[in-house]
Structure 1
Amino acid sequence: MKFASLGSGSEGNALLISAASGTTSTTVMLDCGFGIRETEHRLARLGLAATALSGIIVTHEHQDHVGGVFKFARRHHIPVWLSFGTYQAVRADCKGVTIHFCRDGDRLAIGDLQLSPFTVPHDAREPIQYLATDGQFKLGVLTDAGQSTPHLVRALGGCDALMLECNHDRQMLAESAYPASLKQRIGGAYGHLSNEASAQILAALDQSRLRKVVGAHLSSKNNTEALAREALHSALNLDRTEVMIACQTEGFDWIGLRD
C-alpha cells in the first residue's frame, strides 16, 4: 500500500491511495481541486495516467477539493463516491458521471482497497474524511475539520500513516490582515485545524503502529513548515515516526507502507 499527493492547500487538493494484491492493483484519488490538464500533469509526474484510477472519493464540496472532480471524472469515465449532503451541493455538476453515495459508518470496497468514511466538523453540507486499508496497513486522512471529536479520534487510532491538517498557527492568523469574519471562520469550530489542535489530536491517538505523519493543507499566509513540523513532533510518542509536510505545488512523492 502507498500514497502520494498531487498538492495540498487552499489552491487545490488531491491525494492518491494505491494498493496491490497478486496480479491486481487499485488506485483511487481522494478529492480533486485541480483542472483537467493540471491533474493529468501532476499524475504524470507520479508515473500515472488517468486510466489507472478506479475511482474518485470526495470529502466535501469546497472548490479546493471538488473543483476538478466532475470534469475529470466525466472526461475519463471514472466513478465518484461522495456523501448525499455533498451531492446536494454539487448535483448540477454531476451530469454524465457515475455517482455512488457513502456516509459515516460505511465500508467502501474498491478493488484492493477498503475505505471507511467518518464525519468531521466543518462548514460544509455533509463533510467526511476517510480511513483507507488494504487489509494489512491503514492510512488515516483528516483535513478540513475545525476541532477534535471523540468520533474522529476513534476512527484514526492505530494507523500506520496519517495525513493530518495543520492549517494555521493561531498567532499568525490573529495577527494577519484577514478580516475578522474570515479569521473567525478559519479558527472556529467548523473551520480548519490549527497546529496546536492537530498536535492535540495526534497526542490522543493510538500511535503504536504509526510510522509516517504528513502535515497537510498548510496556509501559505498563516503558517510555516517549521511551525507545523514542530507541533507534530511535540505530540509523537515514538522516535521512529517520521514527520513530513505536504506542499501545495509539489504535493509529495509516493510513500510506501510496509513492516
Structure 2
Amino acid sequence: MRFASLGSGSTGNGLVIEQDSTRLLLDCGFGLRDAIRRIARLGLQPEEINGILVTHEHDDHTGGVFKLANRYRIPVWLTYGTYITSQKLMPKELEFDLHIIDSHQPFSIGNLQIQPYPVPHDAREPVQFTFEDGKHKLGVLTDAGTSTPHIEATLSACDALVLECNHDVDMLHNGPYVRSLKQRVGGRLGHLDNESAATLLGKLDNRKLQHIVAAHLSEKNNHPALVNTALSRTLGCEEHWIGIASQQEGFDWRQIK
C-alpha cells in the first residue's frame, strides 16, 4: 500500500490511497482543473481513480468532489448526513454512482478494506477512515476537535498515520482570527491543536508505525517546527522523521512495507 497527498490545509484537502490496481481519493477540496493538475503531479490520471470517499461537507473537502466524479464517472462514498448537506454542490444529472455509508460499518472497494469512524466536528455526520490491505493499516484523522476512546481504539496499531495538527494554542489565541472563529477552531467540534494531537498519539499502539504525517496545518496559526517538536517528543524520534503535509504540495508517495 502507498499513499500521497494532493494538498492539506484550510483551502483544500485530498489524499490518494493505492493498493495494486485500487486507487481511492479521500476528499477533494480543489477546483476541477487544480485537482487534475495535482493528481497528475502524482503520476496519475483521474480515469485511474476507482472511488472518492468524503469525510464531511465543508468546502475544503468537497469543493471538487462532485465535478471530478461527474466528469470521470467516479463512484462516491459518503454518509447520509454529508449527502444531505452536499446536495447544493451536486450536478442535476449524476453521471456517477453514489453510495451512502454507515459511520461504523466497514466496507471494501477493490483491494482495500475501509473502516469509517465518527469524529467530533461541526459538520452534519463527519467521519474519518482507516484503510487496510490485509497486511498493513493506514489511519487518517483530520477535522476533529477532540479525541475519543473510539478514535484511539480505531487508530491503534497503524503502520502509517495521517494526523491533524491544525494549530498551536498560543498562536491561535494571539493570531488574526476574530474571537468567534478562534472559539470555533479551538473548540470541541473544531480542530486538533499540536499538543492534543501529541497526547492522542501517545495513547496509541505505535509499535508498527512506519510513517506519520502531520496534516491540515493552519498557515496562520501554526508552524511545522512546532509540530515536529510536539510529535517527536511523544514518539521519542528525531524531529525530521515527522512528515508534514503542505497546502500547496501535499506530500509525495509514501510506501508501507
1:84 aligned onto 2:52: no
Q: Is the 8 A contact 2:131 2:137 kept in 1?
A: yes
1:65-80 map, 5 Å:
65-80=61-76
- Report the alpha carbon displacement of residue 243 of structure 1 after superposing the two structures with TM: 1.3
- Report the alpha carbon displacement of residue 184 of structure 1 after superposing the two structures with TM: 0.3
Question: Aligned AA for 1:101?
Answer: I
Aligned to 2:12: 12
1:2 aligned onto 2:2: yes
Q: Is the 8 A contact 2:228 2:239 kept in 1?
A: no
Aligned to 2:142: 143
| Aligned-pair identity (%) | 53
* Alpha-carbon distance in structure 1 between the residues aligned to 2:49 and 2:219: 30
Question: Aligned AA for 1:200?
Answer: T
- CA 1:160–1:257 in structure 2 vs 1: closer, same or farther (change >3 Å)? same
Q: Provide the aligned C-alpha RMSD in A.
A: 1.4
Question: Aligned AA for 1:180?
Answer: R
1:131 aligned counterpart, secondary structure: strand
Report the TM-score, using the length of structure 1 for normalisation. 0.95
Count of aligned positions: 254
* Alpha-carbon distance in structure 1 between the residues aligned to 2:24 and 2:240: 25
Question: Aligned AA for 1:144?
Answer: D
1:54 to 32, 50, 58: 50
Task: Kindly provide the CA deviation profile for residues 34-56 of structure 1, in whole angstroms up to 9, marking residues without a partner as x.
Answer: 01111111111110000110000
- Report the alpha carbon displacement of residue 177 of structure 1 after superposing the two structures with TM: 1.9
Structure 1, unaligned runs of 5 or more: none
Report the TM-score, using the length of structure 2 for normalisation. 0.96
- Report the alpha carbon displacement of residue 105 of structure 1 after superposing the two structures with TM: 2.1
1:28 to 14, 24, 44: 24
* Alpha-carbon distance in structure 2 between the residues aligned to 1:104 and 1:93: 21
2:66 aligned counterpart, secondary structure: helix
2:202 aligned counterpart, secondary structure: helix
- Report the alpha carbon displacement of residue 10 of structure 1 after superposing the two structures with TM: 0.5
- Report the alpha carbon displacement of residue 238 of structure 1 after superposing the two structures with TM: 6.1
Aligned to 2:110: 111
1:203-214 map, 5 Å:
203-214=202-213
Question: Aligned AA for 1:48?
Answer: L
Q: Is the 8 A contact 2:29 2:61 kept in 1?
A: yes
Q: Is the 8 A contact 2:51 2:75 kept in 1?
A: yes
* Alpha-carbon distance in structure 2 between the residues aligned to 1:92 and 1:34: 16
* Alpha-carbon distance in structure 1 between the residues aligned to 2:240 and 2:210: 4
Q: Is the 8 A contact 1:211 1:240 kept in 2?
A: no
* Alpha-carbon distance in structure 2 between the residues aligned to 1:142 and 1:212: 14
* Alpha-carbon distance in structure 1 between the residues aligned to 2:127 and 2:236: 27
Q: Is the 8 A contact 2:232 2:239 kept in 1?
A: no
Task: Kindly provide the CA deviation profile for residues 222-242 of structure 1, in whole angstroms up to 9, marking residues without a partner as x.
Answer: 000000111111111567993
1:175-214 map, 5 Å:
175-214=174-213
* Alpha-carbon distance in structure 1 between the residues aligned to 2:30 and 2:138: 23
Question: Aligned AA for 2:202?
Answer: A
